[in-house]
Each structure stands twice: as structure tokens, then as C-alpha cells.
Amino acid sequence: MKILVTGGLGFIGSHVVVELQNEGFEVIIIDNLSNSSEKVKDGIVSITDTQPVFENLDLRNKESVQDFFKRHNDLSGVIHFAASKAVGESVENPLLYYENNLNTLIYLLQEQQKIGKGNFIFSSSCTVYGQADEMPITEANSVKPAESPYGNTKQIGEEIIRDTCKVSKNINAIALRYFNPIGSHDSAKIGELPIGVPQNLIPYITQTAAGLREQLSVFGDDYPTPDGTCIRDYIHVVDLAKAHVAALKRLIEKKNKNNYEVYNIGTGTGSSVLEVINAFEKVSKQKLNYKIVDRREGDVISAYADTTKANKELGWKAETSLEDALASAWKWEQKIRG
Ligand code: UD1
């Protein structure tokens, strides 16, 4: 079965390509290399011993998308990652984010609508919940007004898919709301490659430990949590990748109950920033240089998933511990700096 993975050379996309190929799917990657490199393909090949087809296409070009679907009219599914994901940049340049994240989605769905059928997996985010009133967060929690244009593209993206599925009954879609993806493949042949100064906690930690950054700033220790730092649900990227394969199979095997479904993808466990630092120090056997600074604007206090729905309906569960996930991130950082 042939699966299109857009953004398949990115951090999460590349791990999904590996899991798909491990399961015998034939993969076609579309990536415009805006935040990735063709070298990632070599990592994928060296893990799976299988060469994915790669097309350097920009999905913002509608004609290219139409042409691609003409050439590949036998797709069993589309997993759509290609999107911009930096919160701060989205505030600076909202139109880039709306164009990049929404036009591409619309063009892909239009092609499935033309064919009259299709299986579609969408990368959504726990950011759609904002600061939820109760923990853990179930899919029934309300969607809160987005804090950034990036977050808004995930909310609007979900609405675009939901509305399309209402009228196109043979399009089957699943939105996966990721919590915080971290780590890398155990082989350290693929992993996260942040451009410039990382904004996310784990790459900042590993770069500090590797000596690229002087010191980690912990954004606030006066939150109403047990140790005062924010709580998140950190999920290993390989576990997350496997959730995509499970979701895709649910659609291919027609096990879905509705033609648009939503799942939380996390571990179900919340960890504070200080707990993450302690776990990192333990696995890396290094002291991390950090200091407590002011809160970062826009941070929610706490977000961790209730994963019951995904566990039951997708038959999937996160298996990697926080320590193992951090160890994989550290192994990757050492490899790319080595
Ligand atoms: C952020 C985005 C979220 C996006 C996700 C993608 C915000 C408000 N949210 O999630 O929309 O889907 O990235 O990866 O930007 N921290 C530090 N020091 C640092 C970096 C982070 O203390 O240098 C803390 C943060 O305050 C937070 C936790 O670490 O409590 C995790 O931060 P981060 O990795 O940026 O993820 P989120 O903010 O949860």
C-alpha cells in the first residue's frame, strides 16, 4: 500500500516513515526542505534498508499538488506533517503560517475530494486545549481560543477537515493531538534538528549539556504545581510515530466509527521542568547548568493527556519512559556534535 507522507523528512515525519516502512508500507515523501535536509533520507534508508520515493515539492503550489495526485492515483493514505511550527515566528509572520499550514491542507483535501475518497491523518496539537480546566485532558475538553497564529492553524485545520468530512462521506480522517514529542530513534540515525536557538525544552537541555548553550533558563518556578515549574506530557517520538501507523490502519481497515475522529497522543503522565532536568542529569551523568528566570509569555501551567481513547480504539500505548526518551535525545545530540 502506497502512503504519502508530507513533511516526511522532518522530525516527526521521518520517524513515521521508518515505522511505515517497517510495517511494509510503500512510502512517498513530499518535502520542500524548508526545515529539513535530504540527508535525513539516508538515515531512514540505513535504518529500514528501504528507499522511500522522495519528491521535492512545495504544497503551496496548487498545480504541483494536482499534478502529484494525477501521477499517484493509487494512494491508500495521506499523513500530513508539512507545516511551520515555531510559535514566536507565527506571531511575527501570521500570513506565512496561515498560507503554509492551511492552503496546503486545503489543496490535499481537494484532491481527495476529486477522487471521492481518501484516508487522511492530520498533525494536530494539545495546544488546541489552551489551559484546560481539568487534568488529565480528554478529547471531550473544550478547544480554547488559540494563543498564537500557529495554534490557530491547528484549530482551523481541524475545522477544515471536520467540515470536509461532513460532506465527503468517503473521506476518512483522524486528527492526532500530540502532547510534547521528544527524543530520537534509538539508532541515533534520525532525530530533531532545530535551526538556530532551540525554543523547546529538550533540545535546549541537550545543547546546553553539549556546550553549545551557556545555560538553560527555566521559565518560572512560581506556578501552582508541586515544585512550581510547568507540567507537560513528554512523549517519545517513536511512540508517537507508532500512533500514526495505528491510526492509519484503523482507517484502512475501516474500523473507524466516524469519518472524522480525534485522539490525544501522549503518555498520560505529567512531568515538571525540574523533573525533566533531574531525569536528564541522571541518564547523561552530567550536571546541567540552569537558572530560574521569569515566566515565558503564553505558557500554560499544566497539560497532560488522558490517553484512554487512543489506548482502547487505536490499540496503541506509549511505551518509552521519560528517562529512555531523554537518553535517546542525548545520544542524538552527541552524535550530531561528534
Ligand atoms: C510549545 C508550544 C506549542 C507547540 C510545541 C511544539 C508555546 C507556548 N507552546 O509547547 O504550541 O505545539 O511547543 O513543539 O510555545 N521551558 C523552559 N526553558 C526553555 C524552554 C522551555 O523552562 O528554554 C519550559 C516551558 O516553560 C514549558 C516546558 O519547558 O513549561 C516545555 O516547553 P516547550 O518545549 O517549549 O513546549 P511547550 O511550550 O509545551
**Would you say the pTM of this structure is higher than 0.75?**
yes
CATH number, domain containing residue 153? 3.40.50.720
Per-residue pLDDT averaged across 227-255, rounded? Answer: 98
Selection from 231, 229, 237 nearest residue 191 by Cα: 237
What pLDDT, on a 0 to 100 scale, did the predictor assign at position 195? 85
What pLDDT, on a 0 to 100 scale, did the predictor assign at position 338? 79
> Distance, CA 233 to ligand 1 centroid (Å)?
11
Q: What's the number of domains the chain is made of?
A: 1
Spatial CB neighbours of 16, under 8 Å, sequence gap ≥ 6: 5, 8, 79, 81, 241, 244, 245
Task: In whole angstroms, give the CA distance from residue 113 to residue 166.
Answer: 12
Protein residues whose CB sits closer than 6 Å to any atom of ligand 1: 85, 87, 125, 127, 151, 180, 199-201, 204, 216-219, 230, 232, 273, 296, 298-299
Whether 48 has a pLDDT exceeding 90, the answer reads yes
Encode pLDDT of 151-169 as tens digits.
Answer: 999 999 999 999 999 999 9
Q: Is residue 11 part of a domain?
A: yes
Q: Is residue 301 part of a domain?
A: no
Protein residue closest via CA to atom 11 of ligand 1: 127
Catalytic residue, candidates 97, 107, 150, 223: 150
Using only C-alpha atoms, the chain has a radius of gyration, in whole angstroms, of 19
| Confidence bin at 18 (pLDDT 50/70/90) | very high
> Distance, CA 148 to ligand 1 centroid (Å)?
13
Atom of ligand 1 nearest to the CA of 126: 12
Q: Is residue 200 part of a domain?
A: no
Q: Is residue 332 part of a domain?
A: no
Q: Is residue 322 part of a domain?
A: no
Residue type, position 189, single letter: K
Residue 87 lies in domain: 2-182+236-266
Q: Is residue 152 part of a domain?
A: yes
Q: Is residue 57 part of a domain?
A: yes
Encode pLDDT of 279-301 as tens digits.
Answer: 999 999 999 999 999 999 989 99
Q: Is residue 194 part of a domain?
A: no
Q: Give the strands of the sheet with 260-265, arranged side by side.
A: 53-55, 26-30, 2-6, 75-80, 118-125, 171-178, 260-265
Is 150 designated active site? yes
